[in-house]
Amino acid sequence: MQLPSIPLAHLDDLWFQVSGTVCNLACTHCFISCSPHNHSFGFLDFETVRTALEESVALGVKEYYFTGGEPFLHPRMTEILELTLRYGPATVLTNGTVFKDQWLQRLRVAADASNYSLEFRVSMDGYTPEANDALRGHGTFERILRGVGQLLHHGFLPILTVTPANDEDDPQLFERFVRLLRENGYERPRIKILPTLRIGAEAKRGRGYDEHERVTVEMMEGYDQARLVCNHSRVVTDRGIYVCPILLEAPDARLGDTLKEALAPFALAHQACHTCYQYGALCANASSRHRDA
Amino acid sequence: MPPADTATLDYRRIAVFGGVYSNYLALAAALEDARRRGAEECFCLGDMGAFGPHPDRVFGLLRDCGVRCIQGNYDNSIARGLDDCQCGYTDPRDNYFARLSYQYTFAHTHPDNRAWLGTLPTELRLLLGKYRLLLCHGSPRQMNEFLWESTSSSAFLDYLMRAYDTDVILATHTGIKWRRDLEGGKHFINVGVLGRPENDGRTNVWYALLTLARSASEGLEVEFIPVAYDHEQLAAQMRAERLPDEFVATVLTGWWTTCLEVLPYKERCRGRF
């Protein structure tokens, strides 16, 4: 079957798989099965980050994103963000459970000194302890709220990032999280709702993709390719450059050793691409919207 | 060499306005202010309607004063009869207010004005002295792209200058003015908007004045000009048109109350809500 091939229109977003697949949590719906014991991808060297940042300037990168695993397990994460804010805006995707106040104090200083925004996206996947902890682990609801509180205390405005694997059809979901955050002292809540990616651990927990859930050449006619992550992003990992943060476990997602080698088009061979196609903006800070919504 | 369709301006000073958002009182004040400051031509970067009352009152002013206009995403939606403004809100509250505003504006824009919006170009290229200017709404590559100061790296702006073969990019769309001087004497300028204050607790709005310096180098001077207008009259008219109290509050206080989700961290921090 012929696959749609998506060119990189421009490298707007450069991602760093900064803590590899290592996480202090083992969420049952994680699309790359991160855990304390998953070392498929390791921590990025500080120098690897610095080199990629330097390389990104000539490529005109607009924004930088940091993910894992849990980025703040990286022993030099604060330093990495301080460095990045000299190049451009930085967003870090965190579970919010391991912050130390001294890190946030330093980041507060770095954010104030930079022209660019430092965004924190904190994952929480249910608006009650029961719903969240069933996915993210016992006690995490309270720990995440504490992390949000730490960020607020240091003057940040975290974006709560929600993958409601058990509540996807709840039409009041957004408002429920707004209420939760307000009740916990967050006066201007920011929320990003994400669709469930049915790969990795989630494929074992819930349902995987149905056979028909694939992107075809015909489906791309009249479709805005800019909605697809691979149209404007690449990911730096300790094992090379990958096409997007979602497909790390797919061998064909590795595109090269350097950014320059990884600028080629990508064929949408994967079923997770179907979710990206449907919702768009999966990895950006704005919420995703179903195409027909 | 500039692109073939580039028009050369024999001017030394031009005014560039951002979104008008139906604020015809601010538009009239800005036109008068620009004339008084010696602007030889005025440009408007689109989004004529939205937010304010009586959208049709903007068009006569623009045409009578010979303002050269380009199309914004709101204009594109109104002209094509789309369902929404293409700002891409996902917060239900923001969507609620965006929809109210869009439906009011669409219903009160005369079909002739809708058709006129459909005729506007999506970009203009001009030569001001030695500077190649590219005028657009959101960004040169996408009409509804938000280019915020805190989320646009200089490397990215340099890329836009290279990719679009220009020296100065003028845009609007975000509602907040900013500028960055880049290497090689290039400039990115977000001219702000005339339609509503910029979330700083002040009631005035802003436009940009570009002047060729009289020195031998003919450098480009960029000034952001605050425009005071009768905002209380605008607020009264918005109330009479039953536009949302939240919009009226923004006009009267200078703080944004809606459509906040698109603001990045730094810009959001500067506001009250």
Return per-residue pLDDT of chain A as tens, 293 residues: 799 999 999 999 999 999 999 999 999 999 999 999 999 999 999 999 999 999 999 999 999 999 999 999 999 999 999 999 999 999 999 999 999 999 999 999 999 999 999 999 999 999 999 999 999 999 999 999 999 999 999 999 999 999 988 888 898 999 999 999 999 999 999 999 998 899 998 999 988 999 999 999 999 999 999 999 999 999 999 999 999 999 999 999 999 999 999 999 999 999 999 999 999 867 888 655 555 43
* Tens-digit pLDDT profile for residues B148-164: 999 999 999 999 999 99
Given a cut of 90, whether residue B86 has pLDDT beyond it is: no
- Interface contact A55, partner B, CB < 8 A: no
Query: So what's the pLDDT on residue A293?
Result: 35
CA of B150 vs chain A CAs: smallest distance (Å) = 4
Test A12 with B156 for CB contact under 8 angstroms.
yes
Test A188 with B260 for CB contact under 8 angstroms.
yes
Q: How many CB atoms lie within 10 A of CB B62?
A: 21
Task: Select the residue from A62, A120, A192 to test the B interface by mutation, using most B Cβ atoms within 10 A.
Answer: A62
Buried-exposed string A151-162: b where 16+ CB fall within 10 A, e elsewhere: bbebebbbbbbb
User: CA of A156: which chain B residue's CA is closest?
Assistant: B265
A44, B168, B171 from B164: Cα distances, Å: 35, 10, 14
Indicate the domain borders of chain B: 8-270
Closest CA to A182 of A154, A160, A162, A164: A160
Test B155 with A116 for CB contact under 8 angstroms.
no
- Interface contact A56, partner B, CB < 8 A: yes
Distance, in Å, from the CA atom of A15 to the CA atom of A52, rounded to the nearest integer, reads 10
Query: So what's the pLDDT on residue A289?
Result: 58
Query: So what's the pLDDT on residue A38?
Result: 97
Selected residue with higher pLDDT from A138 and B3:
A138
Q: Which of B90, B150, B268 sits opposite A89 (nearest CB)?
A: B150
Test B153 with A87 for CB contact under 8 angstroms.
yes
Query: So what's the pLDDT on residue A292?
Result: 45
The two structure tokens encoding residue B152 = 């646009």
Given a cut of 50, whether residue B1 has pLDDT beyond it is: no
CATH of domain B8-270: 3.60.21.10
A-B Cβ pairs (cutoff 8 Å, strict): 82
Query: So what's the pLDDT on residue A290?
Result: 57
For each of the domains in chain A, give its residue range(s) and CATH number, in order of start. Answer: 5-279 (3.20.20.70)
* Tens-digit pLDDT profile for residues B205-247: 999 999 999 887 789 999 999 999 999 999 999 999 999 999 9
